[in-house]
Chains A and B, each alone.
Chain A
Amino acid sequence: MRRFFRTYLPFSRAGVQMMLAYRSDFLFHLIGEMLMCIVMYFVWFAVFESSNGSTFMGFSMTDMTVYLFISFVTSYLTYSDGAIALGEEIRDGSIVMRMIKPVSFDMTFLFQELGGRCIEVIIALVPMCVCVEAYKFCVTGSVMFNPVCFLLFLLSTVLAYLVSFYFNVCYGFTAFFLKNLWGSNVLKDAIISFLSGSRIPLAFMPPLLQGLLTFLPFASLSYIPVMIYMGMYDGMTIFKSMLLQAFWLLAFWALSKLIWRLAMKRLCVQGG
């Protein structure tokens, strides 16, 4: 185990350094996403203003605000694009440079990305949670921070990230057929942002669709951690939801291994 971390932690360190090398790019991206989030806030604000009751589908404006910002930071943190690079490397054959090293490919990508995630937790997650809690205090006049919920939220976010990572590894392999991932990537992100509830809470969907979407892997990507953070789930639901996340993690992990083995056979074609 120690050897495992000794081998892969340098990848995380390199990931941090690479992020710092392109720090302005990272900051602009973060600011851009933030602005989008603020726009969404005003859209929902207008919806609540024009509706008759103070709640909408069981959400108050305060709930909605917390949902928007926590959901934003969760999907930001669980977004994984290192695996797209894997697809690129398979396509152009530079994957061989990883194969001549005594390491696992998915682990090198995972740890490299985790390095960057550590910085994002400090720069994005911590300030965001502080702001959200301060906002809740201002509106309700009492401290409602629940450390147990927060810890469970963190755990669920880690699971969500891993599901996202292996989902994207599988997606990265489509590079074999699609040759260029940019266009399909935009499509995939749009579908995910809708189906995972990161734009509109799944609770707002028609019951049938909601039931279906809760079990699909997309809810595991950000909706479950956010619900846990907001205290919307009771103990049993939290347990079941995390189990579901673990199931999808296992499923995508196994699928990625299977595809990898098939991909190795195809890799022959790219040789030469």
Chain B
Amino acid sequence: MIYVDNITKEFKKTIKQPGLLGSFKSLFNPKTEKIKAVDGISFHVPKGEILGFIGPNGAGKSTVIKMLTGILTPSSGTCSIDGRIPQKDRKNYVREIGVVFGQRTQLWWDLPLTETYAVLKEIYEVEDSAYKRKMELLNEVLDLQDFIKSPVRTLSLGQRMRADIAASLLHSPKVLFLDEPTIGLDVVVKDNIRRAIAQINAEEKTTVILTTHDLSDIELLADRIVMIDKGRNVFDGTVGELKQNYGQMRELNFELQRAEDKALLDYGKHFGLGEDDLKVISDGVNVTVRFNSELVPVGDMLSYTLSQVHLSDISVKDADIEEIIRRLYKKEVRIDA
């Protein structure tokens, strides 16, 4: 369905010299430097899959989405969606896709929501009967009826995002691009939106590409993850594979009977763990130990702790995808530095 083959995108950035004189200088003799925002990314998404596209801020996620939606042209490499090249024949290509940029809206600010939908219906040439059916479905999954007659400027962020997602689905696109669809939303609305995406994906076999910083979006929705950093692929696989490949970080939480017992514990020295695989945070009698359970089994960790100090409470937390990704992001930074 979606093939991305070794695409790169370079931006020319003008370096502005400081001050008014500098502004004039750069007006006539601009100094530019090339920045590689995307550097040889490849992936493939089969039809009907939900792909989670993640990476730290500035990793190049949005740039990739913009190239896939035909807004930007890749400097090199190719991408094709359903056999089409996004940059060629833009008007016909965008009929096949739906796009939501979480930070922007495609709704008409001053008009009731229904008017936006009526305009979209004409733009995409949706039949009356299909439009009616679609609106019923979207109403059901996204709960639009309460505010569908209100001007868009009066909607809350959560309502607006639901309305925006509905607007991108009106013409039954084959591919749906969601660029941070849950940004700034409360838990209930996030949940609502996730369920809607899952349902549309299941019912219409819509292929979804989703970028997000909220990893529960990924855990609950994505079949697969592509992670990029500094414009390069870092990981491509399922959530399960991510957990397997990138070590099992566990978290040990306990409460000491006496705060000064802390001095008796030296995990790093005892197990020979480096900074990457161990982190100890303590606050009074409460101690949190994050460690790589592949290097040190949980049992060893527990018995060492219990042999050294007296505890009043203890718990072990499971591998956390967020922790894995945090480690992954950090590692990338180190390799490049």
Contact B104 A97 (CB under 8 A): yes
Residues of A within 8 A of B118 (CB): 10
Q: A21-B110, A97-B101 are in contact. Are A272 and B62 (CB under 8 A)?
A: yes
Asked if A55 is at the interface (CB within 8 A of a chain B CB), the reply is: no
Check: B72 CB closer than 8 A to any chain A CB.
yes
B3 within 8 Å of A (CB atoms): no
Contact partners of A17 in chain B: CB under 8 A: 110-111, 115
B63 shortest CB reach to chain A, Å: 6
Which 3 pairs, one residue from A and one from B, show the smallest C-beta to C-beta distance?
A10-B119, A100-B99, A102-B91
Q: Which residues of A contact B (CB under 8 A)?
A: 3, 6-7, 9-11, 13-14, 17-18, 21-22, 93-94, 96-97, 99-104, 267-269, 271-272
Cβ-Cβ contact count across A and B, 8 Å cutoff: 84
The complex places the Cα of A272 from the Cα of B110 at a distance, in Å, of 27
* Chain B min CB distance to A180 (Å): 15
In the complex, B125 has a CB within 8 A of chain A = yes
A254 to B290 Cα, complex, angstroms: 64
CB distance from B137 to the nearest CB of A (A): 22
Which residue of chain A lies nearest to B151 when distances are taken between CB atoms in the complex? A21
Q: How far is the CB of A56 from chain B (nearest CB, A)?
A: 46
Task: Show 29 residue pairs from A and B whose CB-CB distance is below 8 angstroms, ordered by the A residue.
Answer: A7-B123, A10-B123, A11-B119, A14-B111, A14-B115, A14-B119, A17-B111, A18-B108, A18-B110, A21-B151, A94-B104, A96-B71, A96-B101, A96-B104, A97-B104, A99-B71, A100-B70, A100-B97, A100-B99, A102-B90, A102-B91, A103-B123, A268-B9, A268-B11, A271-B37, A271-B71, A271-B72, A272-B62, A272-B63
CB contact under 8 A between A100 and B119, given known A268-B11, A269-B13, A271-B72: no
Contact (Cβ within 8 A) B91 A14: no
Chain A nearest CB, measured from B110 CB (Å): 5
User: Quick check: A10 and B91 within 8 Å, CB to CB?
Assistant: no
Are the C-beta atoms of A100 and B151 separated by less than 8 Å?
Answer: no
Question: What residues of A have a CB within 8 angstroms of the CB of B111 in the complex?
Answer: 14, 17-18, 21
Smallest Cβ-Cβ distance to B108: which chain A residue: A14
Instruction: Confirm or deny: B336 has a beta carbon within 8 angstroms of a beta carbon on chain A.
Output: no
| Chain B residues engaging chain A, CB cutoff 8 angstroms | 9, 11-14, 37, 58, 62-63, 66, 69-72, 90-92, 94-95, 97, 99, 101, 104-106, 108, 110-111, 115, 118-119, 122-125, 151
Give the shortest distance, in Å, between A93 (CB) and chain B (any CB).
8
Beyond the given pairs A7-B122, A100-B70, A267-B71, 8 more chain A to chain B contacts, judged by CB atoms under 8 angstroms and listed by A's residue number, are: A6-B125, A7-B125, A21-B151, A97-B105, A100-B97, A102-B123, A103-B123, A271-B63
Contact A103 B151 (CB under 8 A): no
Q: Interface of chain B, helix or strand or loop or mixed? A: mixed
Task: Report the Cα distance A272→B60, complex, angstroms.
Answer: 8
Contacts of B13 in A (CB 8 A): 269
Instruction: State which of B90, B110, B124 has its C-beta within 8 Å of the C-beta of A22.
Output: B110
A255–B228 alpha-carbon span in the complex (Å): 40
Partner pick for A96 among B66, B91, B108, B122, CB 8 A cutoff: B66
Shortest Cβ distance from A92 into B: residue: B104
Question: Of B9, B92, B94, which is within 8 A of A101 by CB?
Answer: B94
Nearest residue (CB) in B for A21 is B110
Our pick among B37, B92, B101, B119 for the contact of A102 (Cβ within 8 Å) is B92
Contacts of B91 in A (CB 8 A): 102-104
Q: Which residues of A contact B11 (CB under 8 A)?
A: 268-269, 271
Q: List, in ascending order, chain B residues with CB within 8 A of A93's CB.
A: 104
A72 to B307, CA, bound (A): 93
**Highest count of chain B CB atoms <10 Å: which of A6, A99, A269:** A99
Chain B residues with Cβ below 8 Å from A99 are: 69-71, 90, 94
